[in-house]
Structure 1
């Protein structure tokens, strides 16, 4: 009789313990599925964002790449060259930047901070003097004698608040 009661208690204990363990594993599994779904959604959103950002970029536009390749330029060398030429305008002597039509209001100099080559004709850039900042739309061309020429198309200085 004692053996039967002891065995029954042991079986009940094992059953309850197993049931709790299974519930715990189920909760962990559900949480991991939820986290996995969140991570999947985040990755999907990041892929969409990267795709959207690459739409207006020279090295992702086949027609713009073909334009330069047809003229015998290596795009992998040309893109850094164009960016370097614009950044070199930042170190020119004088108070005014050759492409930025605004004078600095802080006593410093307006400098181009970042550049994006949109295609084989246009560049968008932002500039700042540390306090005031704006954006530029710059046209560029490579002449027959392989000179790089820039032309300011439009500019915008953000108002201070």
Structure 2
């Protein structure tokens, strides 16, 4: 009787070992496949991030912050962030009643106001304006004086037409 119990225990423990070995092997394969899948996704994300960084660098090419020659014009002024200062002064033109004086169109739905501003260099600004329904862009020449006053001059403009 003792022999049969030991035989059954041996067979039972052998089956448990076989089951653990097989399931461990399957778990190992599944884990390695998951790791490979995640590595592939990480590589794709790295490529995507690199492309996004290149697009950002390309978009920043025409900006005052990244133009050392243009920034040299403001070295003698005590301005921490010339782009922010110029943008704020341009947005102050929105505070006048009615349309912004730099926008050469009359608002159709509301008053035309400047929304987005891109300071290209030490002389030019590209700005977007809208009345809520219609929109356009203006190219502005500006001059920052030593007393921190700014003169804005409209160079060119366009108004997008809706095609419905």
TM-score of the two chains, using structure 2 as the length reference:
0.84
Match status 1:84 vs 2:95: no
- The alignment partner of 1:48 has SS state of helix
Could you give the per-residue CA deviations for residues 25-60 of structure 1, whole angstroms, max 9, x where no partner exists? 112111211221122122112211221121111011
* Runs of 5+ unmatched residues, structure 2: 1-6
- 1:2 Cα deviation (Å)? 5.0
Could you give the per-residue CA deviations for residues 4-35 of structure 1, whole angstroms, max 9, x where no partner exists? 64454344323312211111111211121122
- 1:114 Cα deviation (Å)? 1.1
User: Pick from 61, 64, 76: which aligns with 1:55?
Assistant: 61
* Runs of 5+ unmatched residues, structure 1: none
Query: What stretches of structure 1 move > 6 A for 4+ residues in a row?
Result: none
Between the aligned partners of 2:57 and 2:162, the Cα distance in structure 1 is 32
Give the aligned CA root-mean-square deviation in angstroms: 2.0
Partner of 1:155: 157
- 1:76 Cα deviation (Å)? 2.2
Between the aligned partners of 2:47 and 2:37, the Cα distance in structure 1 is 15
- The alignment partner of 2:80 has SS state of helix
Query: Number of paired residues?
Result: 157
TM-score of the two chains, using structure 1 as the length reference:
0.86
